[in-house]
Structure 1
C-alpha cells in the first residue's frame, strides 16, 4: 500500500453520549490497523463524558468545548487537530468490526483517484438491516442514505462510485478540507454532510462505497428520536440552506418542479407528525439567513470544477439512486409505489 494505514485521525463528536463511548472506543481498539489516533470532541456534555475519557482513556485526544456548538463545529475542531492524511468521522453510537478501518484504508490506497469513502452502515440492534450504503440526493433539497431500513442484499455488496457519504461514518482524505473548506457550522446539525457532499462533487472530488467495511449504528442517539421539533426545525431550515448555497437561478428554475414536490411533501409529513410549528420556525430561520447563504454560494463557486450541466447530471443520477432505494424499501414493507413511479416517469 502506498499510504500508511496508521495515518488516520478518528474524530468522534460527543454530546452526553457517555453510555455509548465504552463500546465505541473498545471496538476501535480491536481494529486490525493498530496505529491510529482517536480525537473525541466533547460538546459541553453534562453526563460525565469528559471525566470518563480522562480516567479510562487517557490516550484519547480530548477536545472539550464549553457548550454544545453542534455536529459541524465539533467535527471541524477534530479535523483541525491533526495533519494525519486521513480523517475518519465516526458517531459515538457506533461499533466497528475489527477489519473496518483496514478495508477503508486499503480502498483509499488502491483507488487514489477517489477522495472519500463510505462504509456499509448496518442497524446496531438488527444487523441484517441497512442503515445506509453511501448517500444519494433528492434534488428538492435533501440527502438520502441509500439502503436505509432495507434488508441487506446482494445489490448492496458491490463496491463502486457513490455520490456521497454519511458523516456518521466516513473516511476522507485530509487535504480535501484544505481545498474546499470544512463543514458549515451554520447548519449546526442535519444535512451538513449533504452540503459537504454537494461541495465535493462540485469541486470534482469523487466518493467510493466500500461494502467490505461495515459499521453498526444505533442512530438518532443525540436527538432522542428521528422526528421531533428539533430535527424538523433544523432539517427544514437546512434544506433551504442547501438550495440557496448550491443552486444558481437557472438551476433553481430548472429544478423548481421537483423542489416544489419535495418541499410540499415534507410540509405534509411535518404536519402529520404534529410539528407544524417547528416547520414554520425552520422556514423563518431560513428566510432570515438567505443573504448569508447566498454569499456562501458565491464563495463555493470559486472551487467549482463542473459546469452547470455536468453538476445537474450528477444530481439527477444521485436522485435516481435514491428513488430506486426508496422504492425497494417500500416494496419490502408491502407498500405501493404508484406515486413514486409517476414521479420517476415525469422527473427522472
Structure 2
C-alpha cells in the first residue's frame, strides 16, 4: 500500500534566507512521500533566483540546527505561474521529476503579486488539491523542522480517523533545549 502523499507548501515573500534554511531542513525529513511546493508571493528581492541557486547547490545554508549537506543537491524544480498551478500544473512536467527522491525535487509557483498570507497559501492549496494530494502541510518559511516531524503527523492522522487536522508545536527559534528521552521536539502527542 502506498504511503499518503503530502504537499508541503512554503510561502515566500522577500525572505529567501529563511526559505532556503527551511528547505534545507525539509530535505532531512524521514517521511518518504512528500512534494515541496514553494509559493513566491511577488517578491522583489530576487528570492526566486536565490532559491534556484540553493537548489543548484550554488548557495550554502548556514544554520545552528544542522550542517549543510551538499550531497542533497541539485534539487530539480519545475516552475508554474499562478493560473497553471491552480489548475493542477502540467502532468508532463510533473512526470519529469516524479522518479526523483522527494528531497531532490520541488515545484516553484510565482503568484505574480503579493496576495497576502492567505491568498498565497490558497494558490498552493489549489495546486495541491488539483494534483490529488492526500495531505497538505502549510509550513512557514521561517521554520526549521525536525526530521521526523512529517512522519509523526501522518502517523497520527492515519491512526485516528476522526481527526480532521494535525499540527505541530512551534518552538521559539533561538531556544534549543535538550528533550527528555522518548519525546520528539515540536510535537504534542
Same fold flag (TM > 0.5): yes
CA distance in 1, matches of 2:2, 2:135: 10
Counterparts of 1:174-213 in structure 2, within 5 Å, are 212=184
Which residue of structure 1 aligns with residue 34 of structure 2?
Answer: 36
Shift of 1:51: 1.3
Aligned length: 134
Tell me if structure 2 keeps the 8 A contact 1:53–1:62: no
Deviations 1:49-103 (A, max 9, x none): 1112334333321111122110011111001112201000000000011100010
Which residue of structure 2 aligns with residue 18 of structure 1?
Answer: 16
Greater relative CO, 1 or 2 (CA 8 Å, sep 6+) = 2
Counterparts of 1:53-72 in structure 2, within 5 Å, are 53-57=51-55, 58=77, 59-72=105-118
Which of 44, 47, 51 is equivalent to 2:45? 47
Which residue of structure 2 aligns with residue 74 of structure 1?
Answer: 120
Shift of 1:126: 1.2
Change (3 A) 1:21 1:28: same
Q: TM-score, normalised by structure 2?
A: 0.64
Structure (1 or 2) with the larger CA radius of gyration: 1
CA distance in 2, matches of 1:118, 1:35: 18
Q: Which runs of 4+ in 1 moved over 3 A?
A: none
Which residue of structure 2 aligns with residue 99 of structure 1?
Answer: 148
Deviations 1:226-285 (A, max 9, x none): xxxxxxxxxxxxxxxxxxxxxxxxxxxxxxxxxxxxxxxxxxxxxxxxxxxxxxxxxxxx
Change (3 A) 1:3 1:112: farther
CA distance in 1, matches of 2:147, 2:185: 9
Larger helix share, 1 or 2: 1
CA distance in 2, matches of 1:42, 1:213: 29
Tell me if structure 2 keeps the 8 A contact 1:120–1:212: no
Shift of 1:3: 7.1
Tell me if structure 1 keeps the 8 A contact 2:20–2:51: no
Change (3 A) 1:213 1:126: closer
Tell me if structure 1 keeps the 8 A contact 2:20–2:54: no
Which residue of structure 2 aligns with residue 131 of structure 1?
Answer: none
CA distance in 2, matches of 1:34, 1:124: 26
CA distance in 2, matches of 1:93, 1:56: 16
Shift of 1:48: 1.4
Residue segments in structure 2 that go unaligned for 5+ positions in a row: 56-76, 78-104
Tell me if structure 2 keeps the 8 A contact 1:3–1:109: no
Which residue of structure 2 aligns with residue 214 of structure 1?
Answer: 186
Deviations 1:173-224 (A, max 9, x none): xxxxxxxxxxxxxxxxxxxxxxxxxxxxxxxxxxxxxx84628xxxxxxxxx
Residue segments in structure 1 that go unaligned for 5+ positions in a row: 129-151, 154-210, 216-348
Which residue of structure 1 aligns with residue 133 of structure 2?
Answer: 84
Which residue of structure 2 aligns with residue 121 of structure 1?
Answer: 170
Tell me if structure 1 keeps the 8 A contact 2:11–2:121: yes
Q: TM-score, normalised by structure 1?
A: 0.36
